[in-house]
């Protein structure tokens, strides 16, 4: 009963993040689906996940991925999901460690209708991107901004359409492949359109007081042990994927920092020009979901990495990390780890998530900030060096927050190094070629998510 009282006192912290599992600590790495009050009401601008990795089929190239629109139901017609025409989507790259973007890649979308007089997304089978039976179309422009100088490098690039179903699109994969574009004399590749959500996690258990089904019997409130369930299975997202030579985005140091942002246009006042207001930001995805308190989540989404020290306390003194010994009695977690940063508290987490790890992905003269850092000279990317699509970030982040790293080897033991949600891979395979993200589910064949508990109707 004493432990249960402690748990009740800690409930606000659990609600803040999604429970210990998503705790993912500090800036862990998981997903950022519906992470803040304002952006949860604006799905086309809601960044769900960001990835950065050395391209598996081209070691000289880096691939960047941003996904938006969480829990996208493939059968969501007749107005199928799409990008926002009034949203500015950006990849931001810091190549000198100062927490300011040196290079940006901007994407703007435009929607047109072949036949505004019909309610249909398509009026017959669609066999090409220019098929007159495809009623709803999107195109986009790509702009590169280097040190404040803008250059349009792509225009009129076609977005892959929604995967409506086998009658409407008998060869959807050919349509999606045709939407892969080339930029800058074919030195860059680009894709935009629906894909399978590559993030995988047992959200149903995690949000239920930090549950981990494989460890249900060890929880403060035990339940029967069960395998993990992927609650992102069956859902799509809208992906923007950009592949470019690593030499184009590095600056003497092979390490880059990357984050994505979305912004909405704000009308000018008194005849002034319109401006853009940033509404979402994502590098290491779970930071806003788990570390930032609910009263500051919208502030984080509108902020920039060079101002991140205002959020540092959540990293150095992770509130959710303190819940692990409460939720799972017997598991001990460090409260202070020194790595020489002279910040106090969990400097191990600050090193992994705010500065990068020395000798791996820490840039010279780094300013602590929340970014996804990648050493482009290492052929195989894996968190915390960038983020590959297949990385099991839930398990990794759980173990990191429990101290199971080389920074605190005394905690790199069982059960700290075995924490996990039991979901270890995505429901769909990833591609071995650009754009790598798996094929999207179609509206005809994709089943809705099953109920979380077959006994629900008995309660």
- The model's pLDDT over 136-187, given as tens digits with 9 standing for 90+, comes to 999 999 999 999 999 999 999 999 999 999 999 999 999 999 999 999 999 9
Least confident of 102-111, 249-258, 277-286, 400-409: 277-286
In the predicted structure, residue 409 carries a pLDDT above the cut 90: yes
In the predicted structure, residue 432 carries a pLDDT above the cut 50: yes
Structural domain includes residue 308: yes
Structural domain includes residue 400: yes
Range of the domain at 233: 2-431
Structural domain includes residue 455: no
Three-class secondary structure of residue 238 per DSSP: strand
CA-based nearest residue to 387, from 23, 48, 100: 48
Structure tokens at 40: 């949860």
List pLDDT tens digits, range 67-77.
999 999 999 99
Structural domain includes residue 438: no
List pLDDT tens digits, range 348-376.
999 998 999 999 999 998 999 999 999 99
Tokens 């969480």 -> residue: 70
Structural domain includes residue 392: yes
Q: How many angstroms separate the CA atoms of 35 and 51, rounded?
A: 17
In the predicted structure, residue 459 carries a pLDDT above the cut 60: no
Q: Where are the alpha helices (DSSP H) in 200-264?
A: 203-206, 246-249
How many domains are there within the chain? Answer: 1
List pLDDT tens digits, range 413-427.
999 999 999 999 999
Task: Kindly list the distances between the CA atom of residue 323 and the CA atoms of 158, 317, 381, in Å, as whole numbers in the listed order.
Answer: 48, 12, 31
The mean pLDDT of 406-410, rounded to a whole number, is 96
Structural domain includes residue 443: no
Structural domain includes residue 441: no
Confidence of residue 457 (pLDDT cuts 50, 70, 90): very low
Structural domain includes residue 452: no
Q: How many angstroms separate the CA atoms of 235 and 382, rounded?
A: 24
Are the C-beta atoms of 103 and 95 separated by less than 8 Å? Answer: yes
Structure tokens at 111: 């929607």
The mean pLDDT of 248-261, rounded to a whole number, is 97
């Amino acid at each position: 009963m004493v432990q249960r009282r402690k748990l009740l006192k800690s409930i606000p912290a659990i609600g803040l993040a999604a429970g210990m599992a998503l705790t993912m600590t500090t800036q862990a790495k998981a997903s950022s689906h519906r992470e803040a009050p304002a952006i949860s009401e604006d799905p086309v601008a809601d960044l769900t996940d960001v990835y950065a990795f050395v391209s598996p089929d081209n070691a000289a190239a880096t691939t960047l991925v941003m996904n938006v629109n969480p829990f996208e139901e493939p059968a969501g017609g007749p107005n199928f999901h799409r990008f926002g025409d009034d949203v500015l989507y950006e990849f931001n790259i810091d190549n000198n460690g100062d927490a300011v973007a040196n290079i940006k890649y901007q994407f703007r979308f435009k929607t047109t209708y072949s036949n505004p007089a019909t309610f249909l997304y398509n009026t017959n089978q669609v066999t090409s991107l220019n098929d007159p039976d495809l009623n709803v179309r999107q195109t986009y422009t790509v702009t590169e901004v280097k040190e404040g100088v803008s250059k349009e490098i792509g225009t009129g690039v076609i977005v892959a359409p929604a995967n409506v179903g086998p009658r409407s699109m008998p060869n959807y994969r050919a349509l999606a492949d045709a939407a892969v574009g080339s930029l800058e004399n074919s030195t860059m590749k680009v894709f935009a359109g629906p894909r399978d959500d590559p993030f995988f996690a047992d959200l149903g258990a995690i949000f239920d007081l930090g549950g981990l089904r494989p460890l249900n019997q060890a929880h403060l409130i035990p339940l029967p042990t069960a395998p993990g369930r992927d609650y992102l299975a069956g859902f799509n997202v809208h992906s923007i994927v950009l592949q470019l030579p690593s030499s184009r985005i590095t600056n003497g140091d092979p390490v880059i920092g990357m984050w994505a942002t979305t912004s909405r246009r704000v009308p000018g006042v008194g005849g002034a020009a319109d401006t853009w207001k940033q509404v979402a930001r994502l590098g290491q995805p779970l930071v806003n979901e788990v570390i930032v308190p609910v009263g500051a989540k919208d502030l984080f989404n509108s902020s920039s990495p060079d101002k991140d020290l205002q959020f540092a306390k959540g990293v150095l003194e992770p509130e959710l990390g303190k819940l692990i010994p409460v939720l799972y009695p017997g598991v001990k977690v460090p409260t202070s780890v020194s790595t020489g940063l002279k910040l106090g508290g969990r400097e191990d987490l600050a090193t992994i998530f705010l500065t990068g790890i020395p000798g791996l992905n820490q840039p010279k003269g780094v300013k602590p900030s929340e970014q996804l850092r990648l050493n482009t000279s290492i052929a195989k990317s894996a968190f915390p060096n960038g983020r590959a699509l297949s990385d099991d970030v839930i398990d990794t982040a759980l173990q990191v927050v429990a101290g199971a790293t080389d920074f605190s080897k005394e905690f790199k033991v069982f059960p700290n190094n075995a924490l996990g949600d039991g979901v270890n891979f995505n429901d769909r395979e990833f591609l071995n070629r650009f754009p790598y993200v798996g094929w999207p589910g179609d509206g005809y064949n994709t089943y809705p998510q099953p109920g979380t508990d077959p006994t629900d109707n008995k309660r």
